[in-house]
Structure 1
C-alpha cells in the first residue's frame, strides 16, 4: 500500500498550464475525485496551436464552481505573486511550458521566457509562501520531460542516469527546471517532485504531436513525413496513465534523500517502446475503422531531424516501487480512443 502523506481533500491546488492537454485532464480528475478542493488554474492561452482546443478544454472546467481560471503568463512575476497572495495554494503543479523540440530551434526565446523565467517565478512564490509562519506550499510537482535523456545510449532510461547532453534547447530548459527545483528544495525546504513524461497522447491532445499531425494530413489526403526512414522508437504513454501517475505523486511529498533534500524525480512512461512504422500503421487502422480515412497515407521517408532522438524508453521501477502503479494502456487502445474523439470533435 502506498504511504501517501498528503490528503488532497479540501486543499487549494494551483495548476499552471491549465488549458493544456495534461493540465485540463488532471484538473477534471481532481475535481471529480477529491471533496472540497479549490482549484486555481492559470494559462496564457497562446496560439502555439489551435486556441479553440484550449477553449474547449477550459469551458468544461469552468462549469465547476470549485474552479477559478486566471488568464496570464507565469513569466509575469506580478501575476504569479498575486495568485499566491490571494489564494495561498497548498499544492502546486507546474505544467505551463513552451512545448515541442523542433519549435525550440526556430523560436528559442519563448522557451527561455516560459520554461526558465516562468518556473523561476513559481519557485520564488513557493519560497516566500512560508513567510511569517505560514504553512506554505506542501508539495511542488512539476513537469520535466523524457527529452532530458538526449542521445543516451543506455536503455531503458533511468532517473539516476547522467543527463548532461541535451540535444535541443527544450531539453536543456527541462533539465534546468530539475536543477532549479533541487536548489530551491535544498535552500528553502520546498518539497518538490519532477516528472519526466514520455510522449503523451490521447483525445484532445496537442496538434503539434505526430499522431495528431499525421491524422490532419491523412484527412486532407496529404503525404506524411516519416523521419529517420521510420527507424525510430517511442515510449507512447496514454493520457489517463499520465494523470493517474500525477495524482499519485501529488499525494506523496518526497522524503529526505541521501543529501538531506526533499526532492525526487520519476519517469512516467509506458515502459514499452513502439516503432514509428508500427505506430503509423496502427493509427491508420484506427482512423479507417472510424471512417475518417479510407486508404493508408502516402509516406515520405526522410533523414533524422535536428534535435530528435532515436528512441525513448522509460524505466519505471521507482514509480512501481513507490506507488504500485505502472502505465499500461496499449497503443492500439489509446489510438482507438483518439480516433473516436477526432471523429466526434471534427465531425
Structure 2
C-alpha cells in the first residue's frame, strides 16, 4: 500500500463533513502550494541542486518557515541520495510523509486536557484582531455540543468592545458571561468567574485575556496575576493556555507565537482563518519551530468550522488529487490481478 493510500485509510474513520471542511478550508493553500510543487516536479528531468533550490522557494512562499524548509529539503536531499531516486515524481509521497512527521505530536498532547476532579479552566491569549473572542465562542459551542456546562470570563477588560463581543458570542452559544466594567482588574474578573463556575457546577471555564503584546512587561504582569489567582483557587490550573493566531498573517503569526511563549506557558495553538490564506504552510512552521501542538484550526465562519487539528486530514486536504489518483491506480491494479 502506497503512502497516499495509507493517508486515505487513516482518515476513513472521520466523517465526510470533517474531511470536506479541511479540503475546502485549505483550497487556497492547495492551489498555490501543491500546484507549484506539481509544476516543478512535472518539468524536472533531473533532480539536482537547481531543483532543490526551486523547491525551497516554493515551500518558503507557502510560509513554511526558512528553518523548517531547510530541514525538510536537507532530509529530502539525503533520501534522494541514499535511495538513488532519479524520478522526481517519487518525491511526492516523500514530501507529504515528511510534512506529517513534522506535524505529529505525542498522543497525550492531542486535544484539550480536562480536570478529572472538577472545574477545568482554559485561558486564551493572543493579540487583538486574531479572532480570539470568536474562537472562545466557537470552543464554548463545541464543548456544549459535547454535553459540558460552560461559562465565559471577560478578562480582556482593556477594550470595552472585547467584553461586548464576548457577550454576543455567549448568546450565540447559549453560554453565560461573567464580566466587570471596562478597565477593571482582569484577575478580579477571573476570580469572580471561578466562584460562579464552582457554585453553578460548571464543567469548563473559558477565560479571555488582553492582547497588548507591544508592552510585554505589563502583559506579563497581568497574565502572571491571572495565573496566580487561578492556581490559588484551583491548584494545577489553568489546565490549558491556548494561543490564538491569525493564519493570514503568515510569518507574523510565528513571531507572535515566539513572543507570547516568553510571557505565557502556552500548551496549545489555535490557528484561525486558515481558509482565507494560501499560506497554510505556517501550520508546519509553528509546530516544528515552537514545539507546541496546533490543537484547533479555523476553516470557515460558521460556528462549527473550528476543527480539532488532524495532521492526516491536513496532508489529505493538500494532496487530495494525488491521493485519489493513487487509490484509483491501486484499485485498477488489484482488479487486473
The verdict on a shared fold, with TM-score over 0.5 as the criterion, is: no
TM-score (norm 2): 0.37
Identify the structure with the greater helix proportion: 2
Q: Which has the higher contact order (CA 8 A, sep 6+)?
A: 2
Structure of larger gyration radius: 2
